Amino acid sequence: MSAALPLGENQTELARDARVERALAFALALPCLIVVALCVLIPCGWLFYLSAFGNDGSLSWENYERVSSGASYGRIFITTFEVSLLTVLACVGIGVPFAAFVNSLPPRVAGLFVAAVLLPFWTSLLVRAYAWLVLLQRNGLINTALIDMGLTEAPLDLAFNWFSTVLGMTHIMLPIFILPVLGAMRNIDPGMIRAAASMGASWGLTMRRVFLPLAAPGIIAGAILVFVMSLGFYVTPAILGGGNVQVISMRIARSLSNFSNWGAASALGVLLLLFTGALLALGLMAQRLILGARKGQDHA
């Protein structure tokens, strides 16, 4: 039998093994880091570079001054954030009860519902937007059915407005919201729910005080994903909004296609990126605060 190493040598060996593991992990992640640098960091840096030049080709704050002084830009930013927020609220209102229902089902049945949730991913986003247009337009299937049943005398304005835009974006973003929420709910110990019920808590009280707080990290993560991704939507607002819902991605596209103004488009992209990063940081801080408060309650 080999003699045990002294404490100092053992710590040295452990530190060396830890350095080797970190180096190996870095080597394995290096190809992914290179792809991220090529596909994300360099294009973002190029946006910053283009936004810093005016129409005459000199370094200038001209593009940012145009955005800050133009009232139309402010309205477009507000519209973009409002549409994204409404999409998040719709996903929370639909996704949380649906995820709780799926979580209560047997594994095989729950797998079928999860597959149904993932089914829209197999269809093109453009096809889904036009499918909603077929349903919602004035001579679409919904208005035709309502008129045939005598519920309305004239077609309802269901398309080319905020309603159709938020509806189409909710349909696209709902699976992205449900997956992290369902993952968080599946990590909840069922014994905690049974313990709350055995102590006389009603179903509503158990949901409010036990189940939803434990699922909060997943709900926040899903809400952050939906909000951040909704900020950059272009196809759905362009088709279902019909020009009546102007978001920032549409203004960027118009600056490039109509005016070939790369500086102004880059400035809008940079501002949207900064706002998104700030909101993402706030969301992560909120998630950490919730987790910290939960750990404090567990220790107490």
**The total number of structural domains that make up the chain:** 2
Q: Which of 242, 264, 241, 244 is nearest to 252 (CA)?
A: 264
Q: Which of 233, 216, 215 is nearest to 172 (CA)?
A: 233
Residues 213, 98 within the same domain: yes
Residue 4 confidence (pLDDT) = 54
Is the pTM higher than 0.85? no
Residues 4, 136 within the same domain: no
- β-pair partners for 53: 59
- 118 is a domain residue: yes
- 182 is a domain residue: yes
Residues 155, 250 within the same domain: yes
Residues 167, 100 within the same domain: yes
Domain enclosing residue 229, as ranges: 71-299
3 backbone dihedrals φ, ψ, rounded to 5° = -70, 145
Residues 286, 141 within the same domain: yes
Residues 27, 101 within the same domain: no
- 56 is a domain residue: no
Task: Put residue 60 in one of left, alpha, beta given phi > 0 → left and psi -120 to 50 → alpha.
Answer: beta
53 backbone dihedrals φ, ψ, rounded to 5° = -115, 135
- 87 is a domain residue: yes
Residues 38, 114 within the same domain: no
Residues 43, 90 within the same domain: no
Residues 126, 256 within the same domain: yes
Q: 3-class SS at 124?
A: coil
DSSP string, 39-67: IIIHHHHHHHHHHTB-TTSSB-SHHHHHH
- Per-residue pLDDT tens digits of the chain, which is 300 residues long: 445 556 566 778 778 888 888 989 889 999 998 998 888 888 888 888 888 887 777 778 888 888 888 778 889 999 999 999 999 999 999 999 999 999 989 989 998 998 888 888 888 888 999 999 999 998 999 999 999 998 888 899 999 999 999 999 999 999 999 999 999 999 888 888 888 888 888 888 888 888 888 898 899 889 989 998 999 899 999 999 988 999 999 998 888 888 778 888 888 889 888 888 888 888 778 777 776 766 666 555
Read off the CATH number of the domain in which 287 is found.
1.10.3720.10
Residues 105, 24 within the same domain: no
Which residues fall within 8 angstroms of residue 81, CB to CB, at 6 or more apart?
231
SS in 3 state form for 204-259? HHHHHHHHHHHHHHHHHHHHHHHHHHHHCCCHHHHHHCCCCCCCHHHHHHHHHHCC
Residue 1 confidence (pLDDT) = 44
Residues 44, 84 within the same domain: no
- 65 is a domain residue: no
- 97 is a domain residue: yes
- 190 is a domain residue: yes
Residues 100, 227 within the same domain: yes
Q: For the chain, how big is the Rg over CA atoms in Å? A: 25
* Helix and strand totals (H; E) in the chain: 14, 0
Residue 295 confidence (pLDDT) = 64
- 157 is a domain residue: yes
Q: Which of 161, 144, 172 is nearest to 239 (CA)?
A: 161
